[in-house]
Amino acid sequence: MMSQPWPWYIAGPLIGLTVPALLLLGNKSFGISSSMRHICAACLPANVPFFNYDWKKELWNLFFVGGIFLGGLLAAQLLAAPTEIVVHEDLRNDLAKAGLNSYSSIMPQELFSWQQLTTLRGWIFIVFGGFLVGFGTRYAGGCTSGHAIMGLSTLQWPSLIATCCFMIGGLVMTHFILPFLLSL
Amino acid sequence: MMTNTSQDDLNLRSQDAICVNESELARPWYFNLKYALVGVAFGVVFIKAQIVSWFRIQEMFRFESFHMYGIIGSAIAVGALSVFIIKRFNIRTIEGEQVVFHKKEFNKGQIIGGLMFGLGWAITGACPGPLFAQIGYGSTVTIVTLLSAILGTWVYGYIREKLPH
């Protein structure tokens, strides 16, 4: 159990429990992308009104993402699955056409590595993708945790709209743009 | 730092954010360690259920696996049930405060920004949470992705007034 990948019906409810855990530990609403805004406010507020607030009052959010980092470290060091990641055959075939054949890590090594930063394809996947995630989540006012999980758990319809848009954006990218990007 | 009243400051912090809650209690910094512990548990689940895997996100968007839908769906179900119980029985925090929920107002950003994030999500295979877990897992190049995401957040803040909301 500890060294095998966990099934969705174990992982999903555990993630859902984050919602009451944060609420009951200190009245905190579950959300992760805001941490990046607090980092901006702490490091480079630069007279931008959006970043000139007392970020220390949101310090809990930075402790939370620091914990996520540590959890990733612990799981990788102590509980890592020894086997290769198993993916759907069609995906495997499509990725092979783009020259992606490594399944030893959680991400394809041919796309996400320091060497790839010198290629256009690697730059798009590592740098441009990250920019879209940061800009988009803040513009949307939340990410998968804040909108999809916390927002839908509290039955807020703006979060439903945001979640649908996350999915539409992801589907458009995966089916219409990614094949081209992977072929670069 | 501008000289804001605390209400102004709260209003500003609440802009485009879902997870801002103002506790009346002033506590020393180490009280935040409990949130780090929740984060650790969360990060372990992220890795163990391969939620942070680029491949799993691709399978999700290609409808080739139920895994991610099951995770997000059951997380929402458990979250919603917990919120219902907290409201129904008026359960208070461990420090005795009343649990506060914030209503989310609709604006165009949820559509435009949501679409942009969706595009980025399918490229990087990660939403903001998994970025932190991937770095912990040992994918050091994800530090660049995270820095770029922080830059994206900063640029949004910089041009925020000019964007449709």
Q: Is B158 within the bounds of a domain? A: yes
Q: Which residues of A touch B97 (CB under 8 A)?
A: 27
B117-144 pLDDT, tens digit per residue, is: 999 999 999 999 999 999 999 999 999 9
Domain residues for the domain of B85 are: 35-162
Chain A contact for B14 (CB, 8 A cutoff): no
Residue with the bigger pLDDT between A84 and A181: it is: A181
Q: How far out from the chain centre does Cα A139 lie?
A: 16
8 Å CB contact between A22 and B41: no
Q: What percent of chain B has pLDDT over 90?
A: 76
Distance CA A26, CA A64 (A): 12
Distance CA A73, CA A84 (A): 18
Q: Is B21 within the bounds of a domain? A: no
Q: Which residues of A touch B103 (CB under 8 A)?
A: 156
Q: Which residues of A touch B145 (CB under 8 A)?
A: 126-127, 129-130, 133
Task: Output b/e per residue, A25-36; b: 16+ Cβ within 10 A.
Answer: bbbbbbbbbbbb
Residue B131: closest CA among A131, B71, A110, B139: B139
* Six-digit token string for A139: 């513009």
Pick B149's closest partner by Cβ from A88, A133, A139: A133
Residue B123: closest CA among B61, B42, B73, B51: B61
* Six-digit token string for B22: 């103002």
B-contacting residues in A 36-75 (Cβ below 8 Å): 36-37, 39-40, 44, 46, 48-54, 57-61, 63-75
- Residue B92: what are its φ and ψ, rounded to 5°? -100, 170
A4-54 pLDDT, tens digit per residue, is: 889 999 999 999 999 999 999 999 999 999 999 999 999 999 999 999 999
8 Å CB contact between A6 and A81: no
B-contacting residues in A 158-177 (Cβ below 8 Å): 158-159, 161-175, 177
Residue with the bigger pLDDT between B5 and A81: it is: B5
* Six-digit token string for A85: 């990641």
Cβ–Cβ of B149/A131 closer than 8 Å?
yes
B2-30 pLDDT, tens digit per residue, is: 455 777 888 888 777 766 766 656 788 88
Chain A contact for B35 (CB, 8 A cutoff): yes
- Residue A6: what are its φ and ψ, rounded to 5°? -85, 140
Q: Say how many domains are in chain B.
A: 1
A123-178 pLDDT, tens digit per residue, is: 999 999 999 999 999 999 999 999 999 999 999 999 999 999 999 999 999 999 99
Q: Where are the domains of chain A?
A: 113-184
Angle between helix B109-124 and helix A129-140 axes, rounded to 10 deg: 150
Chain B contact for A125 (CB, 8 A cutoff): yes
Q: Is B83 within the bounds of a domain? A: yes
**Number of other residues whose CB lies within 10 A of the CB of residue B137:** 27
- Chain A / chain B CB contacts < 8 angstroms: 547
Q: Is B157 within the bounds of a domain? A: yes
Look at residue B1 and tell me whether its pLDDT is greater than 50: no
Q: What's the alpha-carbon Rg for chain A, to the nearest Å?
A: 19
